[in-house]
A and B are shown apart, each in its own frame.
Chain A
Amino acid sequence: MADLLTPQLNAETPAPDWLQTRRLAGRAAWESSELPTRKTEAWKYTSLFALQQPFMAARESAESAEELGLELPQLAGSRLVFVNGFWREDLSDIEPDAAIELVRFSEADRTQAALIAQHLGSVVPGNKHPFSALNDAVLADGVFLRILKGSKAACPVQLFWHNSEQVDAAINSQRLLVLAEQHSEATVVEHFSGQGHSFTNGLSELILTAGATLNHSRLHLESAEALHVGGLHAALERDATLNSFHVAFGGKLKRIDIVINHQGHGAHCQLDGIYLLRGQENVDYHTCIEHAVPHCTSDETFRGIVGDKASAVFNGRIHIHPDAQKTRAELSNKNLLTSATAEVNTKPELEIYADDVQCAHGATVAQLDESLLHYLRTRGIPANEALVLLSYGFINELVEKQRLESLRDYLKPLLADYFGAALAADSDDTGG
């Protein structure tokens, strides 16, 4: 394994004490942890081989949005833009909103710093996730979003993390901490993009206190060369509601761990996800829904379309603790294979230690339904266009469920283009 820590340490900037403490703890945890191999059950189908190369520290970029090829979605509301891990004030846009505090760690005031120090890492067990420890070890300019008690944010908050094309593979870390105070409500969109073959370690923590509602999305729309090992960890207190939506285009290495902890009675989580792979791309979603207390509900739906020689992994774990009576947990993972050489490894994993629960799960791997294809063709739609329409429909069902209209409006043409582009490539092949 290449040294993932040193290049980042070399680029380290001075940090306040509370941050430095966490760095050192992360460093110790990283150094004492062993990186998973394919013999590790949770990494059976995803190789970290792509990380066995020298990485450079990420370099600050002064390129304009145009030079970077940035297409920032118009979601309205505040937007923080980071390029190669560095904040870009010129590309960012902060809408004043009395309901929220949105700051970078480096500019946190005393109260905010205390809150960050108190909550950061509180829902991520560092010893279980070496990449979380690595993220801690090099913590620099993370983002802290606080939604104030009883307030509702007027507009969505967008965090845009972009890696520019660089000759040498760079490595960088991103960190987000959301603290939704009691009975608050907000919408946050995390968006990863990039053209290069950089390695990103993106870690997000969502803390929803009693009665809070958070609508969260995490988009992995990086290039096919991108390397990303990331995590999302959420804690839901009493009657909190988390709606979390995930989209991933395939990459050389893309592994995302999602852990949702139901810690208070009446908490609810809706977790939806889409992954789209072609070429020789990979995506590996490992989700874990922890039900530790009674009367919580979770509803999880992931759908993937896998073509060419791509390979997807979906592992959906539901863990219902002995005390978590009256839990209702549902999990569905449907996959569409569009080529004979595509691969999906899907595994629902239920561990139930309470006896009075409702739990349903299902996973399918299939090809497109011939009868649907036939129906569209009887209406004059050529077979290749019908395939595109049906593939789009398969995932668009989940997009349509999302509450944020501007996000739906952003994603729908993007996804249509994705399939359109695949179609054009196909006809090039047959033409050539």
Chain B
Amino acid sequence: MLSIKDLHAEVEGKNILKGLNLEIREGEVHAIMGPNGSGKSTLGHVLSGRPGYEITQGSVEFLGKDLLVLDTEECAHLGLFLAFQYPVEIPGVSNMEFLKASVDAVRESQGASAYDTVGFMRRAREACAAVDLDQAFLKRGVNEGFSGGEKKRNELMQMMLLEPRLCILDETDSGLDIDALQVVASGVNAMRSESRSFLLVTHYQRLLDHIEPDFVHVLADGRIIRSGDKSLALELEAKGYSWLDDGEVA
């Protein structure tokens, strides 16, 4: 589904990713862990086509297409979803208006008919309930005045409505209390399927207690230096990232 080969990327002339390789197949859940500054968030930004990130080398294929030549919205149309670490606030645009515009655009690109307004509102309300957010959040400006946890739930709600093929969760667990973490985790678990894959980017092992990954990778200095199964995460938690500091490469 996603194939990243020798990816190099820089921001403002500074190399952040330095030869990253990653293969994600359908239905798999991968976790990328790593210390601060290792390039975890950069990976999500690069895959979503965020302005200011320059790819200097390597390739990324998503569902057989060259992701690096696609516009940001085209990636979304193909089924790529990035849940942001820090979702932006958009006052004046209601959550409902935003969700409808988003789902309509994605469905239109896929040749599916748009939901009628009433039908869509019902689906949105269901998704809202599923992430344990009050219905009033649908009427408020996008993320406007939401707490950190509410923003993350709102990201999850969008993910549910857009039904993407690959979900990248960028430090979704940061700033969440244990209740919110469980809501997010159960939402993700409910969406797991044979045709949908996940990439969880996280600093801590705690999220992986709730969402069990098939593979765990350690990112350091812009490259994956070790890969393993979920036991790698436990080992990291016990020993800390410094355990891998001695130039040990997987």
Contact = CB atoms under 8 A, between A and B. Distances in A.
Interface stretch (B10-18, B83-91, B213-221): B83-91
Interface residues of A, number: 24
Contacts of B72: 374, 377-378
Given A382-B105, A389-B93, A377 B76 contact: yes
Interface in B189-229: none
A380 B81 CA distance: 9
A380 B51 contact: no
Interface stretch (A184-192, A205-213, A221-229, A395-403): A395-403
B90 A390 contact: yes
A381 B158 CA distance: 13
Contacts of A374: 48-51, 72
A369 B102 CA distance: 19
Given A378-B82, A379-B158, A380-B106, A389 B76 contact: no
Contact of B88 (A372, A381, A396): A372
Interface in A364-394: 369-372, 374-383, 385, 389-390, 392-394
Contacts of A393: 90-93, 141
Contact of B92 (A371, A376, A380, A400): A400
Contacts of B90: 372, 375-376, 390, 393
A273 to B, nearest CB: 15
Contacts of B77: 380
Contact of B73 (A369, A372, A383): A383
A389 B102 CA distance: 11
Contacts of B97: 389
Nearest to A377: B72
Contacts of B141: 393, 397
B101 interface: yes
A128 B75 CA distance: 60
A370 B52 CA distance: 10
Contacts of B73: 377-378, 380-383
B7 interface: no
Contacts of A379: 76, 98, 102, 105-106, 158, 162
Interface in B57-87: 71-73, 75-77, 81-82, 84, 87
A376 B90 CA distance: 10
Contacts of B101: 376, 381, 385, 389
Contacts of B50: 374
B92 A383 contact: no
A390 B75 CA distance: 21
B56 interface: no
B51 A381 contact: no
Nearest to B83: A378
A375 B87 contact: yes
B93 to A, nearest CB: 4
A389 B105 CA distance: 13
Interface in B81-123: 81-82, 84, 87-88, 90-93, 97-98, 101-102, 105-106, 109
Contacts of A389: 93, 97-98, 101
Most B CB atoms within 10 A — which of A372, A379, A392, A400? Answer: A379
B109 A396 contact: no
B93 A392 contact: yes
Contacts of A378: 48-49, 72-73, 75-76, 81-82, 84
Nearest to B44: A378
Interface string A221-241: 000000000000000000000
A299 to B, nearest CB: 17
Given A377-B76, A378-B72, A378-B82, A395 B92 contact: yes
Given A370-B51, A380-B162, 10 more contacts: A378-B72, A380-B105, A381-B101, A381-B105, A382-B105, A385-B101, A393-B141, A395-B92, A397-B91, A397-B92
Sorted from nearest, which 5 A-B pairs have the closest CB atoms?
A: A393-B92, A380-B76, A393-B93, A397-B92, A377-B72
7 contacts: A374-B48, A376-B101, A378-B49, A379-B106, A380-B162, A385-B105, A400-B92
